[in-house]
């Protein structure tokens, strides 16, 4: 059975969320509604509805007009097993000593690499995105410098690929993987056993550092945060407070043209750029305390 999608955009988070809430009450009802910040630095938001059949065009037009949004674009999507499709399309990714792969490529795992099995799922962070790859390369650089960590936090962990990489290279470290999305946390937890890391990474649902377990484990030697520019900037004071004096922070989910904004926000809290990695349009920043 085909699925129908209805997408629109507008420039304000509150109005986008209000439109998303109103869209849920449309008849026929959507099977799901999403509100997302568009990752192009524009500050605009996308509102999407997913329907089992054709949505009510008049209702959509009224909603977009009432909330000051662009006209909804409606499309019919073929009935496709997207997870299976993604599994077929994703090639293994190599980032220094790390090799990120799906089960369909198990036979191709090099014996001299740290293998991370991440299946396509309803969570971000398969390792195939330039931001995750950039974080793994930043971790590789720290390892080559002889740097080590005993406490690690992966904030906005998605599939927990970064937390698992840290747990692999530092077997004795305390590693926490947190995400605001409970589904992502379920996916992260499910990824541990296939990677022989059951019980090694503590997965939990939290907004930023707002969780008793995260607060108790702080300060951290290493903090990963592969999310988006706006939440990274908002988290800057908590990041600085939760980092050991000689610790490191690895940030990504940042478009190249957004990097200066993030750098300036963290500089206010005494954190400076130790390394800036660019992979296509994405930037990964490694930050350290300014002790000059």
**E-assigned strands of the chain?**
3-10, 32-37, 45-51, 73-77, 93-95, 98-101, 114-117, 151-155, 174-179, 201-205, 220-226, 243-255, 271-279, 282-289
The arrangement of strands across the sheet holding 3-10 comes to 32-37, 45-51, 3-10, 73-77
Is the pLDDT at 40 greater than 90? The verdict is: no
What is the value of pTM for the model shown? 0.72
Contacts of 292 (CB under 8 A, 6+ apart): none
| 103 burial level (CB within 10 Å; 0-12, 13-18, 19+) | exposed
Of 86, 95, 118, whose CA–CA distance to 184 is shortest? 118
What element of type H or E holds 134? helix 130-144
User: Under the phi-then-psi rule, with left for phi > 0, alpha for psi from -120 to 50, and beta for the rest, what region is 154?
Assistant: beta
CA separation for the pair 138, 130 (Å, rounded)? 12
Query: Which stretch of 67-71, 125-129, 185-189 has the lowest confidence by average pLDDT?
Result: 125-129
Check residue 119 and give its pLDDT: 67
Q: Are 26 and 55 in contact (CB under 8 A)?
A: yes
Contacts of 194 (CB under 8 A, 6+ apart): 117
At residue 171, the 3 state secondary structure works out as coil
* DSSP H helices in 157-210: 161-169, 182-192
**Which is more confidently placed, 21 or 165?**
165
Query: Which stretch of 48-62, 99-113, 180-194, 250-264 has the lowest confidence by average pLDDT?
Result: 99-113
Of 209, 189, 187, whose CA–CA distance to 197 is shortest? 189
Q: Are 249 and 223 in contact (CB under 8 A)?
A: yes
Is the pLDDT at 89 greater than 50? The verdict is: no
The arrangement of strands across the sheet holding 98-101 comes to 93-95, 98-101, 114-117
Check residue 43 and give its pLDDT: 77
Q: How far is CA 135 from CA 107, 109, 127, 191, 212, in A?
A: 25, 20, 9, 18, 26
Of 173, 229, 212, whose CA–CA distance to 40 is shortest? 229
CA separation for the pair 199, 54 (Å, rounded)? 46
At 231-269, the pLDDT tens digits run 999 999 999 999 999 999 999 989 899 999 999 999 999
């Amino acid at each position: 059975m085909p699925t129908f999608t209805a997408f629109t955009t507008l420039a304000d988070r509150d109005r986008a969320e209000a439109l998303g809430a109103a869209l849920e009450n449309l008849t026929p009802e959507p099977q799901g509604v999403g509100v997302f910040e568009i990752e192009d630095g524009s500050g605009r938001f996308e509102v999407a509805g997913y329907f089992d059949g054709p949505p009510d065009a008049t209702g959509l037009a009224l909603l977009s007009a009432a909330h000051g949004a662009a006209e909804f674009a409606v499309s019919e999507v073929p009935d496709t097993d997207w997870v299976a499709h993604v599994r077929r399309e994703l090639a293994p990714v190599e980032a220094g000593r790390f090799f990120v792969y799906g089960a369909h490529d198990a036979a191709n795992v090099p014996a001299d690499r740290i293998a991370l099995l991440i299946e396509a799922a309803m969570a971000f962070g398969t390792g195939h995105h330039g931001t995750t790859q950039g974080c793994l390369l930043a971790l590789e650089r720290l390892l080559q410098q002889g740097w080590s960590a005993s406490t690690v936090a992966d904030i906005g962990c998605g599939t927990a690929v970064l937390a698992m990489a840290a747990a692999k290279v530092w077997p004795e470290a305390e590693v926490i993987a947190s995400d605001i999305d409970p589904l992502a946390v379920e996916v992260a937890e499910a990824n541990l056993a296939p990677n022989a890391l059951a019980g090694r990474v503590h997965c939990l649902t939290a907004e930023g550092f707002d969780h008793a377990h995260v607060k108790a484990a702080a300060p951290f030697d290493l903090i990963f945060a592969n999310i988006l520019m706006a939440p990274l900037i908002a988290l800057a004071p908590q990041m600085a407070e939760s980092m050991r004096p000689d610790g490191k922070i690895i940030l990504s989910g940042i478009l190249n043209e957004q990097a200066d904004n993030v750098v300036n926000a963290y500089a206010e809290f005494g954190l400076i750029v130790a390394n800036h990695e660019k992979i296509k349009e994405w930037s990964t920043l490694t930050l350290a305390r300014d002790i000059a």
